[in-house]
Structure 1
Amino acid sequence: MTLPVMEPGLDADVLRTWATEIDRGSFSSLCFGERIAFDNPDTLTLLGALAAWTERVRLVTTVVVPQLHDPVMLAKALATGDMLCGGRLTVGLGIGGRHEDYHAVGADTGTQTIRGLTDRVTTMRRVWAGEKITDSMLPVGPTPPQSGGPELHVGTTGPKTIRSAAGWADGVAGVTLDLNLDRQAELFDVARRAWADAGRRRPHLATSFWFALGTGDGPREQIHRHLRHYMNWIPTEFVDAMAPTTGWAGTEDELVETLRRFAAIGTDEVQLIPTSSDPDQLRRAAEVAAAFG
């Protein structure tokens, strides 16, 4: 389950309520994403709070863009988060699709590439391995509880990026807008082959989609409202055109059946993305997770 970090009007109480209920429920992970030029909470600050608010569930960034950060400082922050949560951190990393986030922090848009991502992963891995990046007296710590650093997933929907990440990623953190199972299965096959060719063990295969639970037109209208708020970098008429087929809307029984279809193509984990901060959506999804399990 993903926190509603892209919803308006958030405060600590809302985030804490969602985090603690996710932790108590049947979910495998608690996910949260990054944007810069938006009204969402800072991902790395939130990681510290989530480490304190939860005890069981795995914490997953979906995703952090390393090119928006100094890689050594990012490595230190993530190692600290991994320490605080007792080694429960998985880091989804991606290139990022919005130039405005790069401009907001003064990052070089020329690094918004697969190579730019890989270079920063290499630096972070060196930090987590305890290598001295400079001639400092000591290496940059702390040492992550997970040997070699947190588990890393590549956040992408592109075959080329998936293949390029086979040497460093432990899995794939995908997203599907229209829940096209054939397309998702093709990407998972690309990942399996790329990891095998690289001599790596089978990758963790995850995907995600927006959801709204309910009956009638309400759930689809809820997704539409969310997309208009979240996709503010896209002309409204384009968002309106894609809204009827983006995300998933329906009842609990229908969601269980959808999850079973994803499981049938080898999906290890579906990360649900809420389109409302209403805790009722979370509680209904928790019942689905329990039924599916």
Structure 2
Amino acid sequence: MRFAISIPQFYADGEFDPAAFRAYFARAEALGCYESAWAQEMTLSASPQLSPLEAMTYAAACTSTLRLGCVVFVTTLHSPVHLAKSLATLDQLSGGRLEVGVGTGGPQRPFAAFGVDRSRYLARFTEGLALTKALWTRDSVTFDGEFWQLKDARMEPKPAQKPYPRLWFGASGDGALRRAVRLGDGFFGAGSSSTAAFAAQVSVVREALAAAGRPAAEFPIAKRIYIGIDSDAARARQRVNAALAGIYGRRVPAIEEAAVAGTVADCVAAARAVAAAGAELILFTPLYEVPEHAGQIAAEIIPQLG
């Protein structure tokens, strides 16, 4: 089992404390049990949230060993040329510590706000991914797509990792999971997905890997766990539900049920169930008192999951 912790992103105007942010990562590295730290992307949100790419870049400057990722960039809403350049730059700046999560965002995204045709979002996603890979791996790119066209275009420097950083796919439906196996390098289950749903998704991924002749050992599987720990389980649940409502703009019972809240023993049991469902990497995402949770998870939960 491998473990990760979230990158703090939720700050109202004027709340961000650079010294506290640096201290958080100094401790996360010193604890020694976290392999990586991950942001998430929600450009338009009811909750104040820093952009993932900038938060990851700041985190890269505060760290030397932690790998840094975002799960996921909704790449359908990005220019693949700009995003490819930004990610290659960050991989260089971090010394090859970048992890990249990608996803379509699903059909309910506010595509009109980004100038994207809802009816073609899947085609835009796959074409954008193909263009990104080309820019990262070819000396010169000529590309004649439906959405983007380039002629003899060059992008330097390439990512520090060759051929490019691992591409984790966020997905839920069977078609998206099979697309992850076809086009990606790993599957990352959402924090909003229940453990039972995640187990079913893992089954689809493993079946697709077998059908494609891809070794399962070369295609890692991970899951985000939204978590809140308290000696009073009811209070933990109340605080977790309130935080989720802030993130999603309303209460969503299915997401609340997927989140883990309770005593240390409750959280250990829930994390064990996620591991048993197929997670090889667990990303703990505390929903309140984030620095305190990072330390408590390292001291009291992770040692019971080894």
Question: TM-score, normalised to structure 1's length?
Answer: 0.87
Aligned mate of 1:4, from 5, 8, 11: 8
The 5 Å alignment of 1:31-180 reads 31-38=38-45, 39-97=48-106, 98-100=108-110, 102-113=111-122, 115-133=123-141, 134-136=150-152, 139-177=154-192, 179-180=194-195
Matching residue of 1:214:
230
Deviates more, 1:196-205 or 1:8-17: 8-17
State the shift of 1:146 in Å.
1.2
Q: Calculate percent identity across the aligned residue pairs.
A: 26
Aligned equivalent of 2:215: 201
How far residue 272 of structure 1 moved from its aligned partner, in angstroms, is 1.6
Given residue 35 of structure 1, which amino acid in structure 2 is its aligned partner?
M
Letter in 1 for 2:133: R
For 1:7-34, what per-residue CA distance to the aligned partner results, in whole angstroms no more than 9, with x for missing partners? Answer: 6465143433333332222112201011
The answer to whether the Cα contact below 8 Å between 1:91 and 1:150 also exists between their aligned partners in 2 is yes
AA aligned to 2:6 is T
Q: 2: CA distance between counterparts of 1:41 and 1:107?
A: 23
Q: How many residues align?
A: 284
- Residues 8, 283 of structure 1: alpha-carbon distance in 2 compared, 3 angstrom cutoff: farther
How far apart, CA to CA, are the structure 1 residues paired with 2:177 and 2:252? 30
Whole-angstrom CA distance in 2 between matches of 1:243 and 1:168: 28
Q: In structure 2, what is the equivalent of residue 27 of structure 1? A: 34
Aligned to 2:54, what secondary structure does the other structure show?
helix
- SS of residue matched to 2:266: helix
Q: Please give the alpha-carbon distance, in whole angstroms, between the structure 1 residues aligned to 2:23 and 2:168.
A: 27
Note the C-alpha offset of 1:291.
4.4
> What's the secondary structure of 1:116's corresponding residue?
helix
The CA deviation at 1:86 is 1.4
CA RMSD in angstroms comes to 2.3
Three-state SS of the structure 1 residue aligned to 2:38 is strand
Q: Which residue of 1 aligns with 2:266?
A: 254
Aligned-residue offset at 1:244: 5.5
Distance in 2 (alpha carbons) for counterparts of 1:188 and 1:213: 27
CA shift, 1:243, in A, is: 6.7
Paired residue secondary structure (2:183): coil
Whole-angstrom CA distance in 2 between matches of 1:165 and 1:243? 23
Measure the CA separation in 1 of the matches of 2:199 and 2:89.
35
AA matched with 1:195: L
Counterpart-to-counterpart distance in 1, 2:165 and 2:290:
31
Aligned in 2, Cα 1:116/1:165: closer, same or farther, shift over 3 Å? Answer: farther
- Is the partner of 2:190 in helix, strand or coil? coil
Contact 1:58 1:90 in 2 (8 A): yes
C-alpha distance in structure 2 between counterparts of 1:33 and 1:221, whole Å: 23
| Pairing 1:16–2:22 present | yes
Give the CA deviation at 1:277.
4.3
User: Does structure 1 residue 292 correspond to structure 2 residue 305?
Assistant: yes
Residue type of the partner of 1:214?
A: D
Match of 1:230 among 240, 247, 256: 247
Looking at structure 1, the residues matched to 114 and 255 of structure 2 have their Cα atoms a distance apart, in angstroms, of 30
C-alpha contact 1:64 1:93 (8 A) present in aligned 2: yes
Using the alignment, how far apart are the partners of 1:147 and 1:60 within structure 2? Answer: 17
CA contact (8 A) 1:6 1:230 kept: no
> Structure 1: how far apart are the matches of 2:265 and 2:72?
29
- Report how far residue 242 of structure 1 moved: 4.7
Unpaired segments ≥5 residues, structure 2: 142-149
Q: Distance in 2 between matches of 1:193 and 1:80?
A: 35
* 1:110 shift after superposition: 3.3
